[in-house]
Amino acid sequence: MTDFTQHDAFPMTARVLGALFYLPPESPEAAPLVEALKGSEWLTQWPLPQEALQPLTIKFNAEAEETLSEAWQRLFVGPYALPSPPWGSVWLDRESVLFGDSTLALRQWMRENGIQFDMQQNEPEDHFGSLLLLAAWLAENDQHVLCEQLLAWHLFPWSTRFLQEFVANANHPFYQGLGELAQQTLAQWQSQLLIPVAVKTLYR
Protein backbone atom coordinates (compact mmCIF):
# COMPACT_ATOMS: atom_id res chain seq x y z
CA MET A 1 0.00 0.00 0.00
CA THR A 2 1.47 3.32 -1.03
CA ASP A 3 1.77 5.95 1.69
CA PHE A 4 -0.56 8.81 0.73
CA THR A 5 2.16 11.30 1.68
CA GLN A 6 4.16 10.03 -1.29
CA HIS A 7 1.64 11.43 -3.76
CA ASP A 8 2.55 14.81 -5.26
CA ALA A 9 -0.75 16.30 -4.14
CA PHE A 10 -0.01 15.84 -0.44
CA PRO A 11 2.89 18.28 0.00
CA MET A 12 1.13 20.79 -2.28
CA THR A 13 -2.09 20.80 -0.27
CA ALA A 14 -0.25 20.73 3.07
CA ARG A 15 1.92 23.67 2.03
CA VAL A 16 -1.03 25.74 0.76
CA LEU A 17 -3.10 25.18 3.89
CA GLY A 18 -0.10 25.65 6.15
CA ALA A 19 0.86 28.97 4.58
CA LEU A 20 -2.68 30.35 4.68
CA PHE A 21 -3.17 29.43 8.35
CA TYR A 22 0.31 30.51 9.42
CA LEU A 23 1.12 33.65 7.43
CA PRO A 24 -0.67 37.00 6.99
CA PRO A 25 -2.77 37.04 3.80
CA GLU A 26 -0.80 39.98 2.41
CA SER A 27 2.57 38.22 2.87
CA PRO A 28 4.56 37.33 -0.27
CA GLU A 29 3.98 33.61 0.36
CA ALA A 30 0.26 33.75 1.11
CA ALA A 31 -1.00 36.50 -1.21
CA PRO A 32 -0.69 34.43 -4.43
CA LEU A 33 -2.48 31.53 -2.72
CA VAL A 34 -5.36 33.78 -1.68
CA GLU A 35 -5.76 34.89 -5.29
CA ALA A 36 -5.52 31.31 -6.55
CA LEU A 37 -8.36 30.16 -4.31
CA LYS A 38 -10.56 32.93 -5.70
CA GLY A 39 -10.13 31.41 -9.16
CA SER A 40 -11.18 27.98 -10.39
CA GLU A 41 -8.00 26.27 -11.64
CA TRP A 42 -7.16 24.94 -8.18
CA LEU A 43 -10.34 22.84 -8.20
CA THR A 44 -8.82 20.37 -10.65
CA GLN A 45 -5.53 20.20 -8.74
CA TRP A 46 -6.94 19.60 -5.25
CA PRO A 47 -7.30 15.87 -4.49
CA LEU A 48 -10.97 16.02 -3.48
CA PRO A 49 -14.19 15.70 -5.51
CA GLN A 50 -14.98 18.95 -7.31
CA GLU A 51 -18.59 18.87 -6.16
CA ALA A 52 -17.31 19.10 -2.57
CA LEU A 53 -14.99 21.99 -3.41
CA GLN A 54 -17.23 24.06 -5.67
CA PRO A 55 -19.28 25.65 -2.82
CA LEU A 56 -16.05 26.89 -1.24
CA THR A 57 -15.25 29.11 -4.22
CA ILE A 58 -18.35 31.16 -3.37
CA LYS A 59 -17.00 31.78 0.12
CA PHE A 60 -13.52 32.59 -1.15
CA ASN A 61 -15.03 35.33 -3.37
CA ALA A 62 -17.71 36.63 -1.00
CA GLU A 63 -17.75 40.26 0.10
CA ALA A 64 -17.14 41.00 3.78
CA GLU A 65 -17.16 44.13 5.93
CA GLU A 66 -13.87 43.06 7.49
CA THR A 67 -10.76 42.94 5.30
CA LEU A 68 -8.84 39.69 5.02
CA SER A 69 -5.93 41.19 6.96
CA GLU A 70 -8.24 42.35 9.75
CA ALA A 71 -9.81 38.89 9.95
CA TRP A 72 -6.40 37.22 10.11
CA GLN A 73 -5.36 39.56 12.92
CA ARG A 74 -8.53 38.77 14.87
CA LEU A 75 -8.29 35.01 14.34
CA PHE A 76 -4.55 34.46 14.82
CA VAL A 77 -2.99 37.41 16.65
CA GLY A 78 -5.42 39.35 18.84
CA PRO A 79 -5.27 41.57 20.93
CA TYR A 80 -8.52 39.99 22.10
CA ALA A 81 -8.97 36.32 22.95
CA LEU A 82 -8.68 34.15 19.85
CA PRO A 83 -11.93 32.32 19.01
CA SER A 84 -10.02 29.14 18.09
CA PRO A 85 -6.36 29.25 19.14
CA PRO A 86 -4.17 27.50 16.54
CA TRP A 87 -1.69 25.90 19.00
CA GLY A 88 -2.00 22.28 20.00
CA SER A 89 -1.17 22.72 23.66
CA VAL A 90 -4.12 25.10 24.14
CA TRP A 91 -6.38 22.14 23.37
CA LEU A 92 -4.28 19.37 24.92
CA ASP A 93 -3.06 20.98 28.16
CA ARG A 94 -5.28 20.94 31.23
CA GLU A 95 -4.54 24.64 31.79
CA SER A 96 -4.94 25.50 28.06
CA VAL A 97 -1.55 27.21 27.97
CA LEU A 98 1.08 27.77 25.30
CA PHE A 99 4.27 25.69 25.52
CA GLY A 100 2.43 22.94 27.41
CA ASP A 101 3.45 19.30 27.75
CA SER A 102 2.28 18.47 24.23
CA THR A 103 4.59 21.15 22.84
CA LEU A 104 7.49 19.71 24.80
CA ALA A 105 6.63 16.23 23.50
CA LEU A 106 6.67 17.56 19.94
CA ARG A 107 10.07 19.18 20.53
CA GLN A 108 11.42 15.92 21.98
CA TRP A 109 10.14 13.99 18.94
CA MET A 110 11.77 16.50 16.61
CA ARG A 111 15.10 16.26 18.48
CA GLU A 112 15.03 12.46 18.48
CA ASN A 113 14.52 12.46 14.71
CA GLY A 114 17.01 15.21 13.90
CA ILE A 115 14.32 17.59 12.63
CA GLN A 116 15.25 21.26 12.62
CA PHE A 117 12.41 23.42 11.39
CA ASP A 118 12.89 27.16 11.55
CA MET A 119 9.81 29.01 12.75
CA GLN A 120 9.21 32.33 10.99
CA GLN A 121 7.54 33.71 14.09
CA ASN A 122 8.53 33.58 17.75
CA GLU A 123 5.91 31.12 18.97
CA PRO A 124 5.43 27.44 19.86
CA GLU A 125 6.13 24.84 17.21
CA ASP A 126 2.67 23.28 17.54
CA HIS A 127 0.86 25.94 15.48
CA PHE A 128 -1.65 24.30 13.12
CA GLY A 129 -0.17 26.07 10.09
CA SER A 130 3.47 25.39 10.94
CA LEU A 131 2.75 21.69 11.55
CA LEU A 132 1.24 21.47 8.06
CA LEU A 133 4.30 23.21 6.60
CA LEU A 134 6.52 20.75 8.47
CA ALA A 135 4.46 17.82 7.14
CA ALA A 136 4.90 19.14 3.60
CA TRP A 137 8.66 19.50 4.16
CA LEU A 138 8.96 15.95 5.48
CA ALA A 139 7.03 14.56 2.51
CA GLU A 140 9.13 16.55 0.05
CA ASN A 141 12.27 15.11 1.65
CA ASP A 142 11.01 11.51 1.50
CA GLN A 143 10.53 11.28 5.27
CA HIS A 144 7.12 9.66 4.90
CA VAL A 145 7.16 7.62 8.12
CA LEU A 146 8.02 10.73 10.13
CA CYS A 147 5.36 12.66 8.26
CA GLU A 148 2.71 10.14 9.27
CA GLN A 149 3.96 10.15 12.87
CA LEU A 150 3.71 13.93 12.95
CA LEU A 151 0.13 13.80 11.72
CA ALA A 152 -1.00 10.89 13.88
CA TRP A 153 0.74 11.87 17.11
CA HIS A 154 0.98 15.65 17.07
CA LEU A 155 -1.71 17.10 14.76
CA PHE A 156 -4.78 14.89 14.34
CA PRO A 157 -5.42 14.40 18.09
CA TRP A 158 -6.58 18.03 18.33
CA SER A 159 -7.00 19.40 14.79
CA THR A 160 -10.59 18.20 14.32
CA ARG A 161 -11.79 20.14 17.37
CA PHE A 162 -9.70 23.17 16.43
CA LEU A 163 -11.17 23.27 12.91
CA GLN A 164 -14.73 22.81 14.18
CA GLU A 165 -14.32 25.85 16.42
CA PHE A 166 -12.44 27.78 13.75
CA VAL A 167 -15.20 27.34 11.14
CA ALA A 168 -17.94 28.10 13.67
CA ASN A 169 -16.28 31.31 14.83
CA ALA A 170 -14.39 32.58 11.77
CA ASN A 171 -17.07 35.18 10.96
CA HIS A 172 -15.43 35.85 7.62
CA PRO A 173 -16.39 33.96 4.45
CA PHE A 174 -12.84 33.42 3.21
CA TYR A 175 -11.60 31.94 6.47
CA GLN A 176 -14.76 29.92 6.95
CA GLY A 177 -14.15 28.44 3.50
CA LEU A 178 -10.47 27.85 4.33
CA GLY A 179 -11.45 26.05 7.53
CA GLU A 180 -13.91 23.84 5.63
CA LEU A 181 -11.27 23.07 3.00
CA ALA A 182 -8.88 22.04 5.78
CA GLN A 183 -11.58 19.90 7.40
CA GLN A 184 -12.26 17.97 4.20
CA THR A 185 -8.58 17.61 3.31
CA LEU A 186 -7.42 16.44 6.74
CA ALA A 187 -10.36 14.03 7.00
CA GLN A 188 -9.20 12.40 3.77
CA TRP A 189 -5.62 12.22 5.03
CA GLN A 190 -6.73 10.64 8.28
CA SER A 191 -8.76 8.02 6.42
CA GLN A 192 -5.58 6.99 4.59
CA LEU A 193 -3.20 6.87 7.56
CA LEU A 194 -1.28 3.64 7.98
CA ILE A 195 -0.81 4.14 11.73
CA PRO A 196 -3.48 4.84 14.39
CA VAL A 197 -4.11 8.37 15.60
CA ALA A 198 -3.00 8.93 19.18
CA VAL A 199 -5.91 9.27 21.63
CA LYS A 200 -5.43 12.37 23.77
CA THR A 201 -7.75 14.21 26.14
CA LEU A 202 -9.00 17.58 24.90
CA TYR A 203 -9.57 20.32 27.44
CA ARG A 204 -11.45 22.81 25.22
| pLDDT at 91 exceeding the cut of 90 | yes
pLDDT, residue 1, reads 41
pLDDT at 116: 83
C-beta of residue 30 within 8 angstroms of C-beta of residue 21: no
Q: Residue 75 and residue 21: Cα distance in Å, rounded?
A: 10
41-65 average pLDDT score? 94
pTM of the entire structure?
0.95
Report the percent of the chain where pLDDT is more than 90. 88
Q: What are the pLDDT digits (tens) for 155-194?
A: 999 999 999 999 999 999 999 999 999 999 999 999 999 8
pLDDT class of 6 with cuts at 50, 70, 90: confident
115 pLDDT higher than 80: yes
Residue type, 94: R
